[in-house]
Amino acid sequence: MSGSGSNKIGKAIKAQRTTLGLSQKNLAVQAETTESAVSHIERGIRKPSAEMLARLAGALGCSVDHLLAGVVPTSKQSLYMQRVLHAMESMPPRMQEQVADFCDFLRQKKQSKRS
């Protein structure tokens, strides 16, 4: 059954997917579902279960909250930031520190190239 909430979620899923350059088939494989299921969810024909939303969010590198709120990134850059933050949420503090250190290293490397 189609509803405005599931259509909003479907649009958010499609926006995330296309921003990442994924096909419905690629997303389906990563989320352990079928291409048909992804298509139906994106078009609002099928309402995803909580488990399906979690798998789709994981495959898209965003939070379930983002999909439920219909929040879509405005650029690839913000999508990459969401993916990094989402990944870091499940990391232990030491690993989060290492990721931050690596980001600092990359930023310094970029600045030294400009000089």
What pLDDT score was predicted for residue 2?
A: 44
What pLDDT score was predicted for residue 114?
A: 76
pTM over 0.85: no
Regarding predicted confidence, which is higher, 26 or 4?
Answer: 26
Regarding predicted confidence, which is higher, 19 or 34?
Answer: 34
What pLDDT score was predicted for residue 75?
A: 64
Tell me which CATH homologous superfamily contains domain 4-69.
Answer: lambda repressor-like DNA-binding domains (1.10.260.40)
Query: Which residues contact residue 34 at a Cβ distance below 8 angstroms, ignoring those fewer than 6 apart?
Result: 28
Q: Side chain identity at 113, as an amino acid letter?
A: K
What pLDDT score was predicted for residue 53?
A: 95
How far is the first Cα of the chain from the last one, in angstroms, to the nearest whole number?
58
